Structure 1
Amino acid sequence: MDKQPTLFVGIDVSKDRLDVHLRPADEDFHVPRDVKGFEALARRFGNRPVALVVLEATGGFEASVAAALAAAGLPLCIVNPRQIRDFARAMGRLAKTDTLDAEVIALFAERMRPPARPLPEPERRHFAELVSRRRQILGMINMETNRRDHAVDGQLIRRLSRHIAFLEREMSELDRDIGQAIKASPVWCEIETLLKSVPGLGDVTARTLLAQLPELGTIGRHQFAALVGIAPINRDSGLMRGRRSIAGGRTSVRGVLYMAALTAIRRGSSFRPFYERLTQRGRPRKVALVAVMRKLLVTLNAIVRDRTPWRPLTT
């Protein structure tokens, strides 16, 4: 009896159904995005050698699918849709249907082999949703405040002010819920305290890292830089050489690290001499700031890994 080939599975998730493609078998099928569909998927893969299942992060629709697949013991990775789009363009795949999308995701799984990552535990997932919602509300407050600042009509200004006040109350309630979630977990309490021992890190940064970067303290510095999107990427083309930039990764984490690095520099912490040495050597300020972000991330990773509070940098 011939041995079955190892399968790489791509799943395109939509509101009502899942389009599935298997590589290298080139099989296509679809199931409804409900409990029966999840059970059918688990049965279909039950006796077959699955190396990896890849889903796109689709704004929440993928969460229940990922939970069902993880419960079935399947190796799973949820990837940024941008990675799939870039991969499709590189292959010249411009046509777009749910079936073709599933095929591209399966090809990405087979050729790129992203590492399988376990889902966060339910408590962390709930905590991450609270932190994400807080970020959304903050964005709405900023937008509404900008609209109010440019409004002329008095009645419209009052309405915008009422909506801003409502959003601010919502954010206060979320802050309370986030604080209670941390207090309910001794481990999170300890990690939050360790993170906040670093100059420039406050509640928002520490809680975003807890929610959006569960790998903190478990993987190496170079992996982290790529994961967060602060690793320099080569863009050598034609006569252009030596230019590097950062892209991709977890934008919410990168955003809070940026603010934390900026605060640390302005407050004159021991990150500031490192920043000043870089700028004195001719590095652009933005490049030096990204270097501080990387150094800060490496420091945070070591603090969580070793369970040791902040100590001022000596270099």
Structure 2
Amino acid sequence: MSGPRVGVAGAGIAGTLLAWRLKLADRRLRVELVDTASPEHGATGVSGGLVRGYEPDPRQLDLAASSLAELRASRLLRAWSGYQETGSVYLRADPADPAAVERLQRLLPGSARACAPGEAPYLAARHGVVERHAGFISPRRLRDEVLADFVRIGGDLVHGTVGAVRAEPGATVSWLVGGERRRYDSGVLATGPWTPALLPGDGYRTKLIQYGVYDATGTLPAPFVDEVTGLYGRPGPGNGVLLGVPSDAYDVDPTRLRPVPALLRRTSDLAARVLPELGIAGLRHIVVAADCYTASPGLRLRPAVPAGTSLFTFTGGSGGAAKTALAAARQAADRLLHRSAVPV
């Protein structure tokens, strides 16, 4: 006997993990995952893959630390994601909330410590949160492995562009894929930078993401974020380093992305200040992509307008959703399965 039909549009890391969680939880569910776009335009294929537990926002800390704890506890997930544990550093202008560090220690025992100025790596003037159990993954590799397992356990995968999303009678939803209207008891748009076009006026915006991969000399940094300047980075292959800063380019066309030279200049200038022991020998290549942002950031299930329908989004990250995706997908699947209230 088959159960309700659930559609998930978007086969990036977020949508694929959600569809997989749903099918694992209830094999009777008819879960259809729509692979909507080529990976080079979305965030999954180009994500730097930083994974750490600490986040200033308590909800994001819980998701990030829970995701990392699950990743470290699962030999399968570590292999699927290519997890490399290197430690991480989060630099701040002021001390981290002691309650946040304590919470992180409970979720990842023995991992985190708060540092005063002069104790944290890199900039002597910064406070910091240093984590042992952190590093980076390949979000694309994890997505590909989870997608293959989703199909193995009976999930349905279709390819095509999603459009004309609408509510149907009886609180069901539908959308078009390749000219065919497909109907579901519940539908989730995990469509990243394409979400604003599917739900115009619903508070979602597409934002440019850009970073560079550089040849480097000197001491390569562990994965880090400097909250004050916005600079972030991690070691790259072959004595390289990945470095970037957030952009302020919103409402970009995800199919027509162009590098922003000013971001490259800002990145190299900040790297010289934040990482004085690192030498930048040359730029290998620039990575440009887009993701979906919303006023209340973070990857989580959100009800779509109009309220009362069975249409949701699973997007609206903060540019680093890979670190929260495992736990966020589990939480979203649980809410869909039990039809508990989904906060706006």
TM-score (norm 2): 0.23
TM-score (norm 1): 0.24
* RCO comparison, higher one (Cα < 8 Å, 6+): 2
User: Greater share of strand residues, 1 or 2?
Assistant: 2
The structure having more radius of gyration, on CA atoms, is: 1
User: Greater share of helix residues, 1 or 2?
Assistant: 1
